[in-house]
C-alpha cells in the first residue's frame, strides 16, 4: 500500500493532489476537520497539507506515528507546534514565496484606496451623493513609508513602492545589513517618529501578540496611515479603534482580524469590530491579500517543490 497524505485545506490548487498522486502517494481530502477527527485518523498518514484553519498541536502530533512532513499552503505557521513537530523528526514546510507578490500588491491597493478615499467616494456616488472637496485625496509621492518586517511580503511591498518618490524605512529584528539603494535600515522608534505610512509584515508569535497596541500607537509622532495585512492577533483591535477616534492614525487598511470571520466575536466583541468597520477612514477586506489566481498556483508549486526535496 502506498504512503498516504491528508489534505485538510478547504481549497487547494488541483496541482497538489495530482502531483502528489504522481509521486506515488495516496491522497485523501478532509476539509477543516475538528481536532478530535484529526486525532482519530492522523496515524495513517505520512504527510499532512494544511492552511490557516487546521491546528496541529502536541495532541495531534503525539498520534501522528507515521507523519514525516506538514506542508502549509501559505506563509504563517502559528497554527503548528513547530518545535514539538521537529522534535519528532517531522519536517514543517510552508510556501511564503508563493503569495508574497499578491500581498505586496494588495497592501499597495489598500494604501492608495485610503489615501484617495476611493471606497468612501464609491459608496457615496452609488447613493447619488456627489462630494468632491470632501474626498480630496493625498499623493503618496514625498511620503515616508515604514515597513515593519522585511521578509517575503514586506520586501514585495517595498518593491511595489519603487515607482513612487517615497522614502522607505524598514525594521526587521531577524535581519542585519538589509539596507539597499531604496530601503533604509531603521528601528521601530525611527519609524514611529518619521513615517506617514506604517505597514506590518511580521509573523504571529507570542512575542508579537498585540504589538500594534496603545503604547506603540501613542509613540507615533505623525498621524500615519496604518496597513495591516499580516496576522490578526498582531493588532489590538480595541487600541486601534481608540487611535482612530483620537486621531492618532489617519486611516486603517485591514485584511486580517483577531477573529476570522470577525462575526465570530470570540476574541474581540463584535461591537468593537462594528465600531471599527463603520468608520469612513477604514478599508477592510476578508483575508484575501494573498488570494489571487496567480498565487494559488504559485503556492502549490512552491510547496510541491519543497516536498520533492525531502
Catalytic residues: 231, 260, 287
Under a CB-based contact definition with an 8 Å cutoff, are residues 262 and 237 in contact?
no
Other CB atoms within a 10 A radius of the CB of residue 228 amount to 25
Other CB atoms within a 10 A radius of the CB of residue 149 amount to 23
Q: Mind spelling out the 3-state secondary structure of the chain? A: CCCEEEECCCCCCCHHHHHHHHCCCEEEECCCCCHHHHHHHHHHCCEEEECCCCCECHHHHHHCCCCCEEEECCCCCCCECHHHHHHCCCEEEECHHHCHHHHHHHHHHHHHHHHCCHHHHHHHHHCCCCCCHHHCCCCCCCCEEEEECCCHHHHHHHHHHHHCCCEEEEECCCCCCCCCCCCEECCHHHHHHHCCEEEECCCCCHHHCCCECHHHHHCCCCCCEEEECCCHHHECHHHHHHHHHCCCCCEEEECCCCCCCHHHCCCCCHHHHHHHHCCCCEEECCCCCCCCHHHHHHHHHHHHHHHHCC
Rounded Cα distance between 191 and 146, Å, is 5
Q: Which residues contact residue 226 at a Cβ distance below 8 angstroms, ignoring those fewer than 6 apart?
A: 198, 199, 200, 212, 240, 243, 249, 251, 252, 253
Longest dimension (CA), the chain: 70
Amino acid at each position: 500500500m502506498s504512503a498516504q497524505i491528508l489534505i485538510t485545506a478547504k481549497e487547494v490548487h488541483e496541482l497538489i493532489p495530482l502531483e502528489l498522486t504522481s509521486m506515488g502517494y495516496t491522497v485523501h481530502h478532509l476539509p477543516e476537520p475538528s481536532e478530535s477527527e484529526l486525532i482519530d485518523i492522523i496515524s495513517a498518514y505520512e504527510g499532512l497539507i494544511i492552511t490557516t484553519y487546521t491546528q496541529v498541536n502536541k495532541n495531534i502530533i503525539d498520534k501522528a506515528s507515521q507523519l514525516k512532513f506538514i506542508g502549509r499552503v501559505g506563509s504563517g505557521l502559528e497554527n503548528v507546534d513547530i518545535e514539538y513537530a521537529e522534535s519528532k523528526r517531522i519536517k514543517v514546510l510552508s510556501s511564503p514565496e508563493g503569495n508574497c507578490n499578491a500581498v505586496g500588491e494588495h497592501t499597495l491597493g489598500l494604501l492608495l484606496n485610503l489615501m484617495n478615499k476611493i471606497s468612501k467616494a464609491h459608496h457615496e456616488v452609488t447613493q447619488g451623493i456627489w462630494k468632491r472637496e470632501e474626498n480630496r485625496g493625498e499623493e503618496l509621492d514625498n511620503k515616508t513609508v515604514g515597513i515593519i518586517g522585511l521578509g517575503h511580503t514586506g520586501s514585495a511591498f517595498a518593491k511595489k513602492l519603487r515607482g513612487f518618490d517615497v522614502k522607505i524605512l524598514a525594521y526587521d529584528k531577524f535581519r542585519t545589513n538589509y539596507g539597499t539603494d531604496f530601503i533604509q535600515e531603521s528601528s521601530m522608534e525611527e519609524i514611529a517618529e518619521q513615517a506617514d505610512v506604517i505597514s506590518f509584515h511580521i509573523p504571529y508569535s507570542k512575542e508579537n501578540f498585540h504589538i500594534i497596541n496603545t503604547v506603540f500607537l501613542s509613540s507615533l509622532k505623525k498621524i500615519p496611515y496604518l496597513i495591516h495585512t499580516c496576522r490578526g492577533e498582531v493588532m489590538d483591535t480595541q487600541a486601534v479603534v481608540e487611535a482612530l477616534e483620537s486621531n492618532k492614525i489617519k486611516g486603517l487598511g485591514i485584511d486580517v482580524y483577531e477573529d476570522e470571520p470577525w462575526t465570530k466575536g470570540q476574541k474581540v466583541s463584535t461591537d468593537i469590530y462594528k465600531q471599527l468597520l463603520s468608520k469612513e477612514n477604514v478599508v477592510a477586506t476578508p483575508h484575501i491579500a494573498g488570494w489571487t489566481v496567480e498565487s494559488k498556483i504559485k503556492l502549490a508549486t512552491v510547496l510541491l517543490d519543497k516536498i520533492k526535496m525531502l
